[in-house]
Structure 1
């Protein structure tokens, strides 16, 4: 049985005329040079922090309505990450934005060399529905910090959060500086008509390709934060109790609708039985015996996602598998004895279903991972020597050893994908750089004019010696 899919008739649609006006006004405002002032940027970062704190209750309510996300989870995975990111930018912006002196080759001395950090211009930020507040506002912090204007496009799949974002941004910022566009694919297509200086997209690889094609038309810089099938390896020497708890936690956050959730489990055959028991026990320790009634377990975002996920529930269910169509509820589920050719292993799951495959030697697990697209995240549970081998012989956007998800919470680490899981990175200073052009400048003195560079190159032999 499939859920009926209905279009959200209450969702506001920004018209093509309004989008054109927004873009025109932001171009004019950016040309005024006002956003380039460091004092201005700091004021806006502090204003955004005030806005988030003032709107926290409304955001929490909207997240509950759209995703059944508890206020505790909302704080941990949305609001707190933004506040920490803002604090870091406010503290560090003056240092980041200072021109950076670099070395100058002997053959062009006595000139001096510096890197100047200038804003790219107008940024387009297209956000997903799974962390709809955090993943809309987090890139905005980088845009403000860099001195850019920004157009935000929240996901229509979480309409309540989208409306709160629009209300918050409209109250605190003029539209010629930061503006919100609402709507679905049609709004995206209108936005793609304009030559934004940077397009920042978070979502699926499929839609990421569409964004990249649109950016190519304007030669816009593009940052793509995508996803993929992030593996979780549990080796023979792992602490199974800790591994079970941390894997279960990584899978139930936002009901598994997390781009860096453990997508599938590769476990040593000798410990599989004990590990699966620990994961199952951890589900119930965190969410209770009746998980459907837990206030700390989310719901699937919409009927489309429900219909897609339910087709995976025909396998060997070790744990879970319960579904409530009306509530858009799927219990945390473990699928045992999964094979590489199974349908669930062909695309990112993006839900609370954990397929399990086993291995005898770690090389088997690494070989499987390396045959597939590079994932956004990789998780390994085991000893340090095993972790060293896994990191050395695989590639992923980010990784955790003996944990899941936590690397996204450190704003001093770059966050981003590689290959099919994305390009470009952000968080902390990387967010500032994502919206910044690093401009190389050579400053030459007029008090001295060394003739080495001029024709007829009388000192060519000397130049070759210097360069060589």
Structure 2
């Protein structure tokens, strides 16, 4: 088994030198990534076609295009992301500087998945580089053509002392997990996720686990079922159903199910006029093992209402819809992760919510609701816990870089995309700076502790709930601020406050917004 101790130690040594913290270095590596994507767009598409039979259009739409946009988004916003973040202060810290730094973590490990082998490797890397870390990418060995291509390209474009690609299977992954990392980012299934989490716990290493689950769809009776059919089947059958946020099963009334099935037949004829088996727009299962697993699900309950055809030699499974499925059927026990869509009839949205919450697979990564009724939508948002939610569409919540992407409970932990990736690979470091002047004010916190000091400290520390009365807030904060200034200009010893003659020139700016008051003392003078 390989030993990666030297690799990790080398990365950490370079990190401690400060090279990756430099903003110019971060920009240069992000620009190198942009060049990699632009120079090798065709080669990336070819590797995806070989591994998953992805159409070039789908590769650009679902992999290369979104990654490229994320790189540009990071480059456009990096200067703002790295700035110290100012925070609000109370009376005790009026004269201090308080802010949050975003510091890089060190040497981080990214373990990618096979279903989106470019996206799950590169998207986390964008934030890791932007945050100033050294990075090791471990591509999935199942998507072997993409793994080989990344292993070739990454050393050509990046600083090889800071960014590395290590390929291999279970032995290599096991060896990598034995090392002490400063962060581990994993995309895959929950079984391996538990192994990752256990290995990380050995060193108290923080992790992000991007997993999956049975993402449910509820279709209300008030919907245009033709549009619903288009959007569900696009989300379900993209990448031949091998998408972590793909619709896993549909719930609706029995009447809606029957009408929806007919619309789905029309949709599939429209999507694949020559049939999905002959269409260049329809993918294949990634391996024989995954193919056999999904194939068995077709026989795992319900009636085959649409599709059902298979071809072992091509690992082909037609887009399949199962009707009249029950929650006890085998197809409902695990995530499908393939082009098989069970439809489970329910009475109404209340039963659907109860069934989701009673499911054995835990909180889903995605929740989909098709309805024109905002009360129904709100019921699901309030009543179901999920990693993310999309109303009246599928998958598209993952395309917005300003939305966090991640699971909850058994569907994962942590979040990324856009700034959230940068923050995932950063330590938010709270900092306060105070001058050495006016030490007499600090005497109130030093021994000996007197009754007089206790009264003053108790008053200063006492918090009050916000009131609906604007004037009471104005009076309270003005008095508190004036008292703070009084303390600043006073000499406090162990028992008494000796107040010299004081003349104050001060201008107060009062800003009231939603009962939030800010008071700024612009000038003061002690005679």
- Whether the TM-score (by the shorter chain) exceeds 0.5 is yes
Alignment of 1:402-417 (within 5 A): 402-417=392-407
1:22/1:179 contact within 8 Å kept: no
Counterpart of 1:466 (choices 460, 466, 470) is 460
Q: Could you tell me which of 418, 423, 433 is aligned with 1:433?
A: 423
1:88 corresponds to: 73
- Matched-pair contact (CA < 8 Å) for 1:239–1:382: no
> Partners of 2:233 and 2:268 in 1: how far apart?
6
Could you tell me which of 176, 179, 188 is aligned with 1:191? 176
Aligned: 1:68 with 2:14: no
Query: Any stretches of 5+ residues in structure 1 without a counterpart?
Result: 1-14
3-state DSSP of counterpart to 2:401: coil
Please state whether the residue corresponding to 1:229 is helix, strand or coil.
coil
Range that drifts further, 440-449 or 254-263: 440-449
Q: 2-side partners of 1:47 and 1:313: how far apart?
A: 45
Q: Quote the offset at 1:104 in angstroms.
A: 2.2
CA contact (8 A) 1:68 1:299 kept: yes
Partner of residue 381, structure 2: 391
Moved more, 238-247 or 446-455: 446-455
Give the Cα separation in 2 of the matches to 1:64 and 1:433.
33
Distance 1:108 1:464 in 2: 16
Between the two proteins, the alignment pairs up a number of residues equal to 453
Contact 2:331/2:342 (8 A) holds in 1: yes
Q: Which residue of 2 aligns with 1:16?
A: 2
- Structure 1 contact 22–176 (Cα < 8 Å) conserved: no
Task: Give the TM-score normalised by structure 2.
Answer: 0.85
Match of 1:399, SS? strand
Larger RCO of the pair (alpha carbons < 8 Å, separation 6+): 1
Counterpart contact for 1:231–1:264, Cα < 8 Å? yes
Q: For 2:410, which of 420, 425, 430 is the aligned residue?
A: 420
SS in 2 for 1:291: coil
* Unaligned stretches of 5+ residues in structure 2: 463-527
How many Å separate the matches in 2 of 1:111 and 1:154?
Answer: 47
For 1:242 and 1:302, the matched residues in 2 are separated by 32
Paired with 2:447 and 2:70, the residues of 1 have a C-alpha distance of: 53
Deviation at 1:457, TM superposition (A): 2.5
SS of 2:101's partner is strand
1: distance between equivalents of 2:191 and 2:125?
Answer: 23
SS of 1:200's partner is strand
User: Cα deviations across residues 271-305 of structure 1 (Å, max 9, x unaligned)?
Assistant: 21111111222122112242111111010000110
1:363 aligns with 2:363: no
**C-alpha distance in 1 between matches for 2:322 and 2:88:** 57
Write the mapping of 1:180-259 to structure 2, written as runs, cut at 5 A.
180-259=165-244
- Contact map agreement 1:22 1:175 (CA 8 A) in 2: no
3-state DSSP of counterpart to 2:367: strand
Separation (CA, whole Å) in 1 of partners of 2:189 and 2:138: 15
Matching residue of 1:444: 434
Determine the C-alpha separation between the residues in 2 that align with 1:221 and 1:448. 41
SS in 2 for 1:150: strand
* Corresponding residue of 2:488: none
What is the rounded CA distance, in whole Å, between the counterparts of 2:449 and 2:63 in structure 1? 62
Deviation at 1:109, TM superposition (A): 4.3
Preserved CA contact (<8 Å) 2:221 2:253: yes
Q: Residue 455 in 1 paired to residue 447 in 2?
A: yes
1:344 counterpart residue number: 331
8 A contact 2:29–2:159 mirrored in 1: no
Alignment partner for residue 380 of structure 1, among 358, 364, 369? 369
1:145-156 correspondence to structure 2 within 5 Å: 145-156=130-141
Q: Please state if 1:261 is matched with 2:255.
A: no
2:364 partner SS: coil
Question: In the alignment, is the contact (CA less than 8 A) between 2:252 and 2:348 conserved in 1?
Answer: no
Q: CA deviation at 1:42?
A: 1.3
